[in-house]
Amino acid sequence: MGGQQTKPNLMKNDAVSTLYEERFTIERDLAKYDLSQCFENLVFEGGGTKGTAHVGALMVLEDLGILDNMTRFGGSSAGAMLAALLAIGYSADEILTFLYSDTKKIIMDSKCGYLSLLPSLFRHYGWIPGRRLEIWFKMVLASGPRNTLCPKTKDKGAITFMELYKATGIELCITATNVNYLTVDYFHPKTTPDTPIYKAVRMSMALPGFYRSVKVERSIYLGPDHIEKANDLFVDGGLICNYPIYVFDGWWLSLTPENQFLRRMRPLSQLHKFYDFKERFGTVNKKTLGIMLYSAGETEAVKEALDTRENSGPAQRPNTKLARVRTEAMIKKRRATEIYDQVLKLMDRFLQCLDAIQPMILDVQYDVKTVKDILSTKFSCDELSFMFPGHKGDLDKIIAELDENSDGKLSLPEVISFIEHHGIDLQKGFLGYGRRDIENLGDFIHSLQQTLSVNIKKMTVKPEDVERTIGINTDYIETTDWKMEFEDKRFLINCGVNGALSFLLEFIDKNKDHLPLKKDVYRSQRQQIVDETQQPNQKVDAIVNTDKALLDKY
């Protein structure tokens, strides 16, 4: 095994005073209420490198005794790995140690680097093999606290969904995208009892283009005495189900006797009807708690609602390279947005003036002399220069630009063409989503995945799901920021703490009349992280410092 290294303390900084002096009062007040019975299911959204923020939220849930009562865990993509770690019994502290480790050697196991990119894309539909990730995660599962309760097998890292459930009563659900059937597959003790957990997590994390897709052999019925073997391809669960908040709703994954498949799905001739989403997941489970991640630059269907919570904003930005670069970009974008908003207001005034003369219908025609009078009397020279850049308020040049066909009339299509020529896309603006720059293959893949995720989330994430969702604003940190510094990770943890406390404050405010009070005195369990004399977790260190030679075999 590699030698132990001194780990910097992710919570030992100036933010400690925020979390354990100012926010200690908040946690102490929250701890007056017994929240342990409020939630039983915990679901994580995928988020790539933003996933570190999940741990900050877990620290709060663990401190307040909420995490101890969870018996069902679910997740997609990076959230799938976190759900599996919790299901196998790891604490927030131990997961934090995993995140501190140098995972680049585990994640990036392409032997020839960029030289293998195109060959791997054509042959395996992905660049990175992901073999090291599988081996490493099997070792993590094999050392999981709850794995000791499972039957002794030769390969404890290959523990299945049903083995975990039978030994511990813990249900785990991992989502992955089945490319052959164009659907989401739910890996769970009920649906895939004999599937190894590590394999499902690997499928769920197979980011298209980055990781190679995972092949699973299936039997296909083609007629009497005609059954063929075929490989189904699985990729990232986040592709079409990045926030599986609904997986424990309805009856589909319920293990109660009355909800067994052969009892519910009759007659078999009408089997297709039971695959309707509302039929399977229609009844909301109020015991489910979800954690959603979103950055300042990302689009989320419920982002605005989550951001309205008190103290829901991100933590204070550190002085890191990534933070500085993103801050500068955000300042430029903010300035551009302010200018854009001013132009919108001026254009709106212009349209109102035209509409007052004659209602704006498709075949409307405005005399250019009338338009010139409006511009000269209703707008200042500075405003005209702002609306019509490059003309310095010269009305003759402005009219010439507006009247494209020089017929002395201004039509509605000419008005719309002029507005959009100046960067105001009326249709996209109506949808409410901002434009994203695509500068490389990584940006393209990430944007493509988010396009699918955002639009599918509109159908699967309901407005009422906000009430059971911890929203974590990761600010400047995006999904694929692999080169984070230590301070960036610490920032994410504090963002997670903020999001969890903000949610719980709102939850208690709405439900305090029905919540039982605790009698014991609150003391933060997180003190061991704050303490500089903290002893290293040797069990986790042994996994983190896995013999490099072992991984190099793959």
- The model's pLDDT over 296-333, given as tens digits with 9 standing for 90+, comes to 877 776 888 888 887 778 888 999 999 999 999 888 88
85, amino acid identity: L
| pLDDT for 435 | 59
Half-sphere exposure of 304 (CA within 13 A, CB side): 4
Q: Residue 232: enclosing H or E segment and its boundaries?
A: strand 227-235
Is it the case that residue 394 has pLDDT exceeding 90?
no
Better pLDDT: 15 or 360: 360
Q: In percent, how much of the chain has pLDDT > 90?
A: 34
Q: Alpha-carbon distance 528 to 543, whole Å?
A: 21
Query: Residue 529 contacts by C-beta under 8 Å, 6 or more apart in sequence?
Result: 9, 10, 11, 12, 59, 93, 96
Contacts of 102 (CB under 8 A, 6+ apart): none
Greater confidence (223 vs 252) lies with 252
pLDDT digits (tens, 9 = 90+) for 155-190: 888 999 999 999 999 999 999 999 988 889 999 999
Which H/E stretch holds residue 446? Answer: helix 441-460
User: What distance in Å separates the CA atoms of residue 536 and residue 13, rounded to the nearest whole number?
Assistant: 18
d(CA 51, CA 45): 8
Whether the per-residue pLDDT at 15 is higher than 50: the answer is no
| Mean pLDDT in residue range 393-416 | 81
pLDDT of 544: 46
pLDDT computed for residue 351 by the predictor = 84
Q: How confident is the model at residue 424 (pLDDT cuts 50, 70, 90)?
A: low
Per-residue pLDDT for 426 more than 50? no
pLDDT at 277: 86
Maximum average pLDDT range among 27-36, 246-255, 507-516: 246-255
Question: Looking at residue 325, what DSSP letter applies?
Answer: H
Q: What is the mean pLDDT of residues 240-252?
A: 94
Angle CA 428–430–432, to nearest 5:
80
Q: How many angstroms separate the CA atoms of 78 and 50, rounded? A: 9
Q: What are the structure tokens assigned to 39, written together?
A: 């939630």
Asked whether residue 291 carries a pLDDT value surpassing 80, the answer given is yes
From residue 242, how far is each of 169, 327, 460 by CA, in Å? 25, 27, 10
| Cα–Cα distance, 96 to 493 (Å, whole number) | 9
Contact call for residues 86 and 70 (beta carbons, < 8 A)? yes
**Which single residue is written with the structure tokens 């609306």?**
387
Work out the percent of the chain whose per-residue pLDDT is above 70: 80
Cis before 193 (ω within 30): no
| Cβ within 8 Å of residue 63, ≥6 positions away | 27, 31, 524, 525, 526
Helices (H) and strands (E) in the chain, counts: 24, 12
pLDDT category at 249 given cuts 50, 70, 90 is very high
pLDDT for the residue numbered 397? 84
Residue 77 appears among annotated catalytic residues: yes
Spatial distance between the Cα atoms of 516 and 485, rounded to a whole number of angstroms: 42
Between 486-511 and 52-63, two packed helices, what is the crossing angle to 10 degrees?
A: 40
32 falls in which pLDDT band (50, 70, 90)? confident
Among 53-62, 269-278, 426-435, which range has the highest average pLDDT? 53-62
Note the pTM of the prediction, 2 decimals.
0.80
> Of the segments 49-53, 86-90, 101-105, which one has the largest average pLDDT value?
86-90
Residue 116 a catalytic site member: no
> What average pLDDT does range 183-207 have in this prediction?
95
Integer CA distances (angstroms), 135 to 84, 138, 155, 204, 477, in order: 15, 5, 12, 16, 28
pLDDT digits (tens, 9 = 90+) for 250-275: 999 999 999 998 888 777 767 777 77
pLDDT bucket at 5, cuts 50 / 70 / 90: very low
C-alpha dist (Å) from residue 35 to 42, 128, 284, 377, 515: 14, 42, 20, 64, 7
420-451 burial string, b = 16+ CB within 10 Å, else e? Answer: eeeeeeeeeeeeeeeeeeeeeeeeebbeebbe
Q: Residue written as tokens 């896995």?
A: 546
Phi, psi of 159 (to 5 degrees): -55, 135
Mean per-residue pLDDT over the chain, rounded: 80
Give the alpha-carbon dihedral of 406, 410, 413, 416, to 10 degrees: 110
The upper half-sphere exposure of residue 550, i.e. CA atoms within 13 Å in the direction of its Cβ, equals 14
Q: Which residue has the higher pLDDT, 289 or 131?
A: 289
The residue annotated as part of the active site, out of 63, 93, 109, 236, is 236
| Most confident by average pLDDT, 4-8, 438-442, 483-487 | 483-487
Cross-strand bridge partners of residue 347: none
Please compute the mean of the pLDDT values over residues 375-397 and round it to a whole number. 82
What is the distance between the alpha carbons of residues 498 and 491, in angstroms, rounded to a whole number? 11
* Structure confidence by residue, pLDDT tens digits, 516-544: 887 665 555 554 443 333 344 555 555 44
> In whole angstroms, what is the distance from residue 399 CA to residue 369 CA?
9
Strands 469-475 and 288-295: parallel
DSSP 256: S
Three-class DSSP category at 90: coil
> pLDDT band at 427, cuts 50/70/90?
very low
Q: Which residues contact 13 (CB under 8 A, 6 or more apart)?
A: 490
Residue 102 confidence (pLDDT) = 67
Query: What three-state secondary structure class fits 187?
Result: strand
Closest CA to 54 of 112, 3, 98: 98
In single-letter form, the type of residue at position 201 comes to: V
In the predicted structure, residue 14 carries a pLDDT above the cut 50? no
Please identify which residue in the block is written with the tokens 């989330």.
Answer: 457
With bands split at pLDDT 50, 70 and 90, how would you rate the model's confidence at 446? low
Top mean-pLDDT range of 110-114, 160-164, 238-242: 160-164
- Per-residue pLDDT tens for 483-495? 889 899 999 999 9
Q: Alpha helices, DSSP H only, in 358-411?
A: 368-378, 381-387, 395-402
Catalytic position from the list 77, 110, 120, 312: 77
Fold (topology level) of 36-249+284-318+439-503: Cytosolic phospholipase A2 catalytic domain (3.40.1090)
Instruction: Give residue 348's pLDDT band: very low, low, confident or very high (50, 70, 90).
Output: confident
Range in 94-98, 156-160, 545-549 with the lowest mean pLDDT = 545-549
Q: What is the mean pLDDT of residues 373-397?
A: 83
Q: What is the pLDDT of residue 12?
A: 38
- The pLDDT score that the predictor gives to residue 153 is 67
Number of neighbours of residue 233 by Cβ within 10 angstroms: 18
pLDDT tier at 25, thresholds 50, 70, 90: low
Model confidence over 271-282: pLDDT tens digits?
777 778 888 998
Domain with CATH 3.40.1090.10 in the chain: 36-249+284-318+439-503
